[in-house]
Structure 1
Protein backbone atom coordinates (compact mmCIF):
# COMPACT_ATOMS: atom_id res chain seq x y z
CA UNK A 1 0.00 0.00 0.00
CA UNK A 2 1.33 3.42 -0.92
CA UNK A 3 -0.21 6.78 -0.01
CA UNK A 4 1.35 10.20 0.25
CA UNK A 5 1.96 13.07 2.62
CA UNK A 6 -0.29 16.06 2.07
CA UNK A 7 1.20 18.09 4.93
CA UNK A 8 3.95 18.06 7.55
CA UNK A 9 2.89 20.00 10.65
CA UNK A 10 4.70 21.25 13.75
CA UNK A 11 3.27 22.67 16.95
CA UNK A 12 3.43 26.28 17.99
CA UNK A 13 3.21 27.45 21.59
CA UNK A 14 -0.42 28.08 22.54
CA UNK A 15 -1.37 29.58 25.88
CA UNK A 16 -4.98 28.98 26.91
CA UNK A 17 -7.16 28.07 29.85
CA UNK A 18 -7.83 24.66 28.32
CA UNK A 19 -4.13 23.90 27.70
CA UNK A 20 -2.99 20.67 29.24
CA UNK A 21 0.16 21.32 31.22
CA UNK A 22 0.55 23.20 34.50
CA UNK A 23 1.93 26.27 32.71
CA UNK A 24 -1.22 26.61 30.60
CA UNK A 25 0.66 25.92 27.38
CA UNK A 26 0.02 23.38 24.65
CA UNK A 27 1.55 22.29 21.35
CA UNK A 28 -1.69 20.89 19.91
CA UNK A 29 -1.91 23.73 17.38
CA UNK A 30 0.22 22.23 14.62
CA UNK A 31 0.70 24.12 11.38
CA UNK A 32 2.04 23.09 7.97
CA UNK A 33 5.68 23.79 7.19
CA UNK A 34 7.40 23.87 3.83
CA UNK A 35 10.46 22.03 2.61
CA UNK A 36 12.19 18.94 3.94
CA UNK A 37 11.68 18.41 7.67
CA UNK A 38 14.04 16.25 9.78
CA UNK A 39 12.45 13.47 11.81
CA UNK A 40 14.42 12.03 14.72
CA UNK A 41 13.75 9.48 17.46
CA UNK A 42 12.43 12.34 19.59
CA UNK A 43 10.00 13.54 16.92
CA UNK A 44 9.66 16.10 14.17
CA UNK A 45 12.20 18.92 14.30
CA UNK A 46 10.61 22.20 15.40
CA UNK A 47 7.58 20.57 17.01
CA UNK A 48 6.62 22.05 20.39
CA UNK A 49 5.45 19.55 23.03
CA UNK A 50 4.35 20.95 26.39
CA UNK A 51 2.98 18.07 28.46
CA UNK A 52 5.68 15.46 28.03
CA UNK A 53 4.19 13.19 30.70
CA UNK A 54 1.46 12.33 28.19
CA UNK A 55 2.85 13.39 24.81
CA UNK A 56 6.04 12.69 22.95
CA UNK A 57 8.61 10.04 23.81
CA UNK A 58 9.86 7.18 21.61
CA UNK A 59 6.47 5.47 21.28
CA UNK A 60 4.68 8.73 20.43
CA UNK A 61 7.38 10.51 18.48
CA UNK A 62 5.18 11.25 15.46
CA UNK A 63 1.39 11.41 15.08
CA UNK A 64 -0.36 10.74 11.77
CA UNK A 65 -3.95 11.43 10.77
CA UNK A 66 -5.69 10.57 7.51
CA UNK A 67 -6.97 13.42 5.40
CA UNK A 68 -9.96 11.27 4.46
CA UNK A 69 -10.96 11.02 8.14
CA UNK A 70 -10.42 14.75 8.64
CA UNK A 71 -12.81 15.39 5.73
CA UNK A 72 -15.46 13.29 7.49
CA UNK A 73 -15.11 15.52 10.54
CA UNK A 74 -15.35 18.64 8.38
CA UNK A 75 -18.62 17.38 6.93
CA UNK A 76 -20.00 16.52 10.36
CA UNK A 77 -19.06 19.84 11.94
CA UNK A 78 -19.84 21.96 8.91
CA UNK A 79 -16.52 23.77 9.05
CA UNK A 80 -13.02 23.57 7.64
CA UNK A 81 -10.63 21.12 9.29
CA UNK A 82 -7.21 22.05 7.85
CA UNK A 83 -4.06 19.92 8.19
CA UNK A 84 -2.74 19.90 11.73
CA UNK A 85 -6.19 20.31 13.31
CA UNK A 86 -5.88 17.00 15.14
CA UNK A 87 -2.45 17.88 16.46
CA UNK A 88 -1.00 15.56 13.83
CA UNK A 89 2.52 15.88 12.50
CA UNK A 90 1.75 14.00 9.30
CA UNK A 91 -1.44 14.47 7.31
CA UNK A 92 -1.76 11.54 4.93
CA UNK A 93 -3.84 10.60 1.92
CA UNK A 94 -4.39 7.08 0.63
CA UNK A 95 -3.20 5.46 3.86
CA UNK A 96 -5.60 3.38 5.98
CA UNK A 97 -4.40 4.83 9.27
CA UNK A 98 -7.19 3.33 11.39
CA UNK A 99 -6.64 -0.03 9.70
CA UNK A 100 -2.87 0.10 10.16
CA UNK A 101 -1.54 -2.97 12.00
CA UNK A 102 0.38 -2.31 15.21
CA UNK A 103 4.06 -2.73 14.35
CA UNK A 104 3.72 -2.16 10.62
CA UNK A 105 6.47 -0.04 9.12
CA UNK A 106 6.10 2.98 6.85
CA UNK A 107 8.81 4.31 4.57
CA UNK A 108 8.23 8.07 4.37
CA UNK A 109 10.84 10.18 2.62
CA UNK A 110 14.16 8.92 3.95
CA UNK A 111 12.67 7.99 7.35
CA UNK A 112 11.34 4.63 8.53
CA UNK A 113 8.42 4.83 10.95
CA UNK A 114 6.57 2.15 12.92
CA UNK A 115 2.92 2.20 14.01
CA UNK A 116 2.64 1.91 17.80
CA UNK A 117 -0.83 2.83 19.10
CA UNK A 118 -3.89 5.05 18.65
CA UNK A 119 -4.28 8.53 20.03
CA UNK A 120 -6.52 9.03 23.08
CA UNK A 121 -8.62 12.23 23.04
CA UNK A 122 -8.18 14.66 25.92
CA UNK A 123 -9.61 17.85 27.39
CA UNK A 124 -6.98 19.92 25.59
CA UNK A 125 -8.17 18.57 22.25
CA UNK A 126 -11.79 19.48 23.04
CA UNK A 127 -10.75 22.96 24.18
CA UNK A 128 -8.67 23.57 21.07
CA UNK A 129 -11.60 22.72 18.82
CA UNK A 130 -14.17 24.49 20.98
CA UNK A 131 -16.42 21.41 20.87
CA UNK A 132 -17.40 20.46 24.44
CA UNK A 133 -18.52 16.91 23.59
CA UNK A 134 -15.58 16.21 21.28
CA UNK A 135 -14.15 13.42 23.47
CA UNK A 136 -17.47 11.56 23.29
CA UNK A 137 -17.73 12.11 19.54
CA UNK A 138 -14.12 11.11 18.95
CA UNK A 139 -14.65 7.90 20.92
CA UNK A 140 -17.85 7.06 19.04
CA UNK A 141 -16.27 7.66 15.62
CA UNK A 142 -13.21 5.54 16.50
CA UNK A 143 -10.99 7.27 13.93
CA UNK A 144 -8.09 8.02 16.29
CA UNK A 145 -5.05 8.39 14.05
CA UNK A 146 -1.80 6.58 14.77
CA UNK A 147 1.27 7.28 16.84
CA UNK A 148 4.58 6.25 15.30
CA UNK A 149 8.06 5.50 16.58
CA UNK A 150 11.08 6.40 14.46
CA UNK A 151 13.11 3.36 13.43
CA UNK A 152 15.34 5.32 11.07
CA UNK A 153 15.80 9.06 11.22
CA UNK A 154 15.40 10.96 7.98
CA UNK A 155 13.64 13.83 6.27
CA UNK A 156 10.04 14.08 5.10
CA UNK A 157 8.13 16.56 2.98
CA UNK A 158 4.85 17.23 1.22
CA UNK A 159 4.22 14.80 -1.62
CA UNK A 160 6.44 12.05 -0.22
CA UNK A 161 5.08 8.54 -0.74
CA UNK A 162 3.96 6.73 2.40
CA UNK A 163 4.73 3.09 1.68
CA UNK A 164 3.81 0.21 3.98
CA UNK A 165 6.94 -1.93 3.75
CA UNK A 166 6.25 -4.45 6.52
CA UNK A 167 3.09 -5.66 8.27
CA UNK A 168 2.96 -8.12 11.20
CA UNK A 169 0.81 -11.21 10.86
CA UNK A 170 -1.10 -10.74 14.14
CA UNK A 171 -3.48 -8.32 12.41
CA UNK A 172 -4.37 -6.16 15.43
CA UNK A 173 -5.03 -2.67 14.11
CA UNK A 174 -4.93 0.85 15.48
CA UNK A 175 -8.73 0.96 15.36
CA UNK A 176 -9.05 -2.35 17.20
CA UNK A 177 -6.77 -1.17 20.01
CA UNK A 178 -8.77 2.04 20.33
CA UNK A 179 -12.09 0.19 20.45
CA UNK A 180 -10.75 -2.32 22.97
CA UNK A 181 -9.68 0.43 25.35
CA UNK A 182 -12.70 2.66 24.90
CA UNK A 183 -15.76 0.81 23.59
CA UNK A 184 -15.39 -2.94 23.21
CA UNK A 185 -13.66 -4.53 26.24
CA UNK A 186 -14.24 -7.98 24.78
CA UNK A 187 -11.33 -7.15 22.45
CA UNK A 188 -8.87 -6.58 25.31
CA UNK A 189 -7.38 -10.12 25.25
CA UNK A 190 -6.18 -9.53 21.68
CA UNK A 191 -3.90 -6.74 22.91
CA UNK A 192 -1.83 -8.90 25.26
CA UNK A 193 0.18 -10.70 22.59
CA UNK A 194 1.03 -7.77 20.31
CA UNK A 195 4.81 -7.34 20.76
CA UNK A 196 5.09 -3.87 19.23
CA UNK A 197 2.26 -2.40 21.30
CA UNK A 198 3.84 -0.20 24.01
CA UNK A 199 4.00 -2.00 27.36
CA UNK A 200 1.87 0.62 29.20
CA UNK A 201 -1.00 -0.12 26.81
CA UNK A 202 -0.70 -3.88 27.26
CA UNK A 203 -0.47 -3.37 31.02
CA UNK A 204 -3.66 -1.31 30.97
CA UNK A 205 -5.42 -4.09 29.06
CA UNK A 206 -4.06 -6.68 31.50
CA UNK A 207 -5.24 -4.74 34.55
CA UNK A 208 -8.72 -4.25 33.14
CA UNK A 209 -9.03 -7.93 32.35
CA UNK A 210 -7.91 -8.91 35.86
CA UNK A 211 -10.36 -6.43 37.38
CA UNK A 212 -13.13 -7.57 35.06
CA UNK A 213 -13.98 -4.02 34.09
CA UNK A 214 -14.54 -2.32 30.78
CA UNK A 215 -13.35 1.00 29.36
CA UNK A 216 -12.33 3.76 31.79
Structure 2
Protein backbone atom coordinates (compact mmCIF):
# COMPACT_ATOMS: atom_id res chain seq x y z
CA UNK A 1 0.00 0.00 0.00
CA UNK A 2 2.82 2.37 0.85
CA UNK A 3 4.53 1.72 -2.49
CA UNK A 4 1.28 2.09 -4.42
CA UNK A 5 0.57 5.39 -2.67
CA UNK A 6 4.08 6.72 -3.32
CA UNK A 7 4.33 9.68 -5.65
CA UNK A 8 7.06 12.10 -4.61
CA UNK A 9 6.18 11.13 -1.07
CA UNK A 10 3.11 9.66 0.58
CA UNK A 11 0.20 11.91 1.49
CA UNK A 12 -2.60 10.90 3.83
CA UNK A 13 -5.48 11.12 1.37
CA UNK A 14 -3.63 9.04 -1.23
CA UNK A 15 -2.78 6.36 1.34
CA UNK A 16 -6.43 6.25 2.42
CA UNK A 17 -7.65 5.86 -1.17
CA UNK A 18 -5.15 3.08 -1.88
CA UNK A 19 -6.22 1.41 1.37
CA UNK A 20 -9.88 1.51 0.32
CA UNK A 21 -9.00 -0.08 -3.01
CA UNK A 22 -6.84 -2.77 -1.39
CA UNK A 23 -9.59 -3.47 1.15
CA UNK A 24 -12.11 -3.97 -1.66
CA UNK A 25 -9.82 -6.40 -3.51
CA UNK A 26 -8.95 -8.38 -0.38
CA UNK A 27 -12.61 -8.37 0.71
CA UNK A 28 -13.54 -9.96 -2.61
CA UNK A 29 -10.82 -12.60 -2.09
CA UNK A 30 -12.15 -13.27 1.41
CA UNK A 31 -15.68 -13.69 0.04
CA UNK A 32 -14.38 -16.20 -2.51
CA UNK A 33 -12.68 -18.19 0.26
CA UNK A 34 -15.93 -18.19 2.25
CA UNK A 35 -17.77 -19.69 -0.72
CA UNK A 36 -15.13 -22.38 -1.23
CA UNK A 37 -14.73 -23.29 2.47
CA UNK A 38 -16.50 -25.94 4.51
CA UNK A 39 -19.55 -24.51 6.29
CA UNK A 40 -18.06 -25.12 9.75
CA UNK A 41 -14.75 -23.49 8.86
CA UNK A 42 -16.59 -20.59 7.22
CA UNK A 43 -18.58 -20.02 10.43
CA UNK A 44 -15.38 -20.00 12.51
CA UNK A 45 -13.76 -17.59 10.08
CA UNK A 46 -16.81 -15.31 10.15
CA UNK A 47 -16.72 -15.23 13.96
CA UNK A 48 -13.01 -14.36 13.87
CA UNK A 49 -13.61 -11.63 11.25
CA UNK A 50 -16.07 -9.91 13.60
CA UNK A 51 -13.49 -9.88 16.40
CA UNK A 52 -13.92 -12.07 19.43
CA UNK A 53 -12.27 -12.88 22.77
CA UNK A 54 -14.23 -16.11 23.16
CA UNK A 55 -12.14 -19.14 24.17
CA UNK A 56 -8.91 -17.13 24.15
CA UNK A 57 -6.14 -18.35 26.46
CA UNK A 58 -2.56 -17.50 27.41
CA UNK A 59 -1.29 -18.92 24.11
CA UNK A 60 -3.13 -16.12 22.31
CA UNK A 61 -1.72 -13.60 24.78
CA UNK A 62 1.79 -14.79 23.96
CA UNK A 63 1.07 -14.32 20.25
CA UNK A 64 -0.20 -10.79 20.83
CA UNK A 65 2.77 -9.92 23.05
CA UNK A 66 5.39 -11.47 20.77
CA UNK A 67 6.44 -8.23 19.11
CA UNK A 68 6.02 -5.85 22.05
CA UNK A 69 9.69 -5.91 23.17
CA UNK A 70 10.90 -5.22 19.63
CA UNK A 71 8.24 -2.88 18.21
CA UNK A 72 6.88 -0.89 21.16
CA UNK A 73 10.20 0.93 21.85
CA UNK A 74 10.35 1.91 18.17
CA UNK A 75 6.85 3.39 18.36
CA UNK A 76 7.56 5.25 21.62
CA UNK A 77 10.84 6.71 20.35
CA UNK A 78 9.26 7.97 17.12
CA UNK A 79 5.90 8.96 18.65
CA UNK A 80 7.18 12.42 19.57
CA UNK A 81 7.63 13.11 15.88
CA UNK A 82 3.90 12.66 15.24
CA UNK A 83 3.11 16.08 16.66
CA UNK A 84 5.48 17.69 14.18
CA UNK A 85 4.16 15.56 11.32
CA UNK A 86 0.66 16.84 12.11
CA UNK A 87 1.87 20.33 11.17
CA UNK A 88 2.78 19.18 7.66
CA UNK A 89 5.82 17.68 5.98
CA UNK A 90 7.49 21.02 5.24
CA UNK A 91 7.23 22.20 8.85
CA UNK A 92 8.42 18.85 10.19
CA UNK A 93 11.41 18.86 7.85
CA UNK A 94 12.26 22.42 8.88
CA UNK A 95 12.24 21.27 12.52
CA UNK A 96 14.68 18.45 11.75
CA UNK A 97 12.22 15.55 11.45
CA UNK A 98 12.54 13.48 8.23
CA UNK A 99 8.85 13.06 7.28
CA UNK A 100 8.99 10.06 4.94
CA UNK A 101 11.37 8.00 7.04
CA UNK A 102 9.47 8.75 10.26
CA UNK A 103 6.15 7.91 8.62
CA UNK A 104 7.48 4.66 7.19
CA UNK A 105 9.02 3.52 10.49
CA UNK A 106 5.85 4.32 12.45
CA UNK A 107 3.64 2.70 9.83
CA UNK A 108 5.74 -0.49 9.82
CA UNK A 109 5.90 -0.74 13.62
CA UNK A 110 2.21 0.05 14.05
CA UNK A 111 1.27 -2.49 11.40
CA UNK A 112 3.36 -5.16 13.14
CA UNK A 113 1.75 -4.50 16.53
CA UNK A 114 -1.73 -4.45 14.98
CA UNK A 115 -1.08 -7.67 13.07
CA UNK A 116 -0.21 -9.56 16.24
CA UNK A 117 -3.27 -8.24 18.08
CA UNK A 118 -5.51 -9.17 15.14
CA UNK A 119 -3.93 -12.64 14.94
CA UNK A 120 -4.96 -13.21 18.56
CA UNK A 121 -8.45 -11.69 18.67
CA UNK A 122 -9.51 -10.84 15.13
CA UNK A 123 -10.12 -7.35 13.73
CA UNK A 124 -12.14 -5.76 16.56
CA UNK A 125 -13.71 -2.73 14.81
CA UNK A 126 -13.65 0.98 15.75
CA UNK A 127 -11.30 0.64 18.74
CA UNK A 128 -8.40 2.39 17.02
CA UNK A 129 -10.70 5.24 16.00
CA UNK A 130 -12.40 5.66 19.37
CA UNK A 131 -9.51 5.18 21.84
CA UNK A 132 -7.37 8.28 21.11
CA UNK A 133 -10.18 10.76 21.72
CA UNK A 134 -10.97 9.79 25.36
CA UNK A 135 -7.22 9.41 26.02
CA UNK A 136 -6.59 12.97 24.86
CA UNK A 137 -9.47 14.30 26.96
CA UNK A 138 -8.26 12.47 30.09
CA UNK A 139 -4.59 13.43 29.77
CA UNK A 140 -5.40 16.96 28.51
CA UNK A 141 -2.19 16.85 26.51
CA UNK A 142 -1.72 18.11 22.97
CA UNK A 143 -0.61 15.77 20.23
CA UNK A 144 -0.98 12.02 19.85
CA UNK A 145 -0.61 10.22 23.19
CA UNK A 146 0.42 6.74 22.12
CA UNK A 147 0.55 4.98 25.50
CA UNK A 148 -2.67 6.50 26.91
CA UNK A 149 -4.44 5.65 23.64
CA UNK A 150 -3.18 2.06 23.88
CA UNK A 151 -4.35 1.68 27.46
CA UNK A 152 -7.70 3.26 26.58
CA UNK A 153 -8.13 0.81 23.69
CA UNK A 154 -7.40 -2.14 25.98
CA UNK A 155 -9.90 -0.79 28.52
CA UNK A 156 -12.58 -0.35 25.84
CA UNK A 157 -12.16 -3.91 24.55
CA UNK A 158 -12.24 -5.35 28.08
CA UNK A 159 -15.34 -3.29 28.99
CA UNK A 160 -17.08 -4.32 25.75
CA UNK A 161 -16.34 -7.98 26.46
CA UNK A 162 -17.76 -7.70 30.00
CA UNK A 163 -20.88 -5.98 28.65
CA UNK A 164 -21.47 -8.69 26.02
CA UNK A 165 -21.17 -11.38 28.70
CA UNK A 166 -23.69 -9.56 30.92
CA UNK A 167 -26.12 -9.01 28.01
CA UNK A 168 -26.14 -12.63 26.85
CA UNK A 169 -25.29 -14.47 30.06
CA UNK A 170 -22.39 -16.11 28.22
CA UNK A 171 -19.42 -15.28 26.02
CA UNK A 172 -21.16 -16.32 22.78
CA UNK A 173 -21.64 -12.79 21.47
CA UNK A 174 -18.39 -11.61 19.85
CA UNK A 175 -16.98 -8.41 21.34
CA UNK A 176 -16.66 -6.98 17.82
CA UNK A 177 -20.44 -6.77 17.55
CA UNK A 178 -20.66 -4.37 20.50
CA UNK A 179 -17.63 -2.30 19.49
CA UNK A 180 -19.03 -2.06 15.94
CA UNK A 181 -22.40 -0.79 17.16
CA UNK A 182 -20.90 1.56 19.74
CA UNK A 183 -18.24 2.75 17.30
CA UNK A 184 -20.82 3.49 14.62
CA UNK A 185 -22.88 5.50 17.12
CA UNK A 186 -19.74 7.33 18.28
CA UNK A 187 -18.81 8.19 14.69
CA UNK A 188 -22.32 9.52 14.05
CA UNK A 189 -22.06 11.64 17.22
CA UNK A 190 -18.70 13.06 16.08
CA UNK A 191 -20.08 13.88 12.64
CA UNK A 192 -23.10 15.56 14.23
CA UNK A 193 -20.80 17.69 16.38
CA UNK A 194 -18.71 18.65 13.34
CA UNK A 195 -21.85 19.59 11.44
CA UNK A 196 -23.17 21.71 14.29
CA UNK A 197 -19.83 23.49 14.46
CA UNK A 198 -20.07 24.18 10.69
CA UNK A 199 -16.83 22.29 10.17
CA UNK A 200 -18.46 19.69 7.92
TM-score, scaled relative to structure 1: 0.23
Greater strand fraction, Structure 1 or Structure 2: 1
TM-score, scaled relative to structure 2: 0.25
Greater helix fraction, Structure 1 or Structure 2: 2
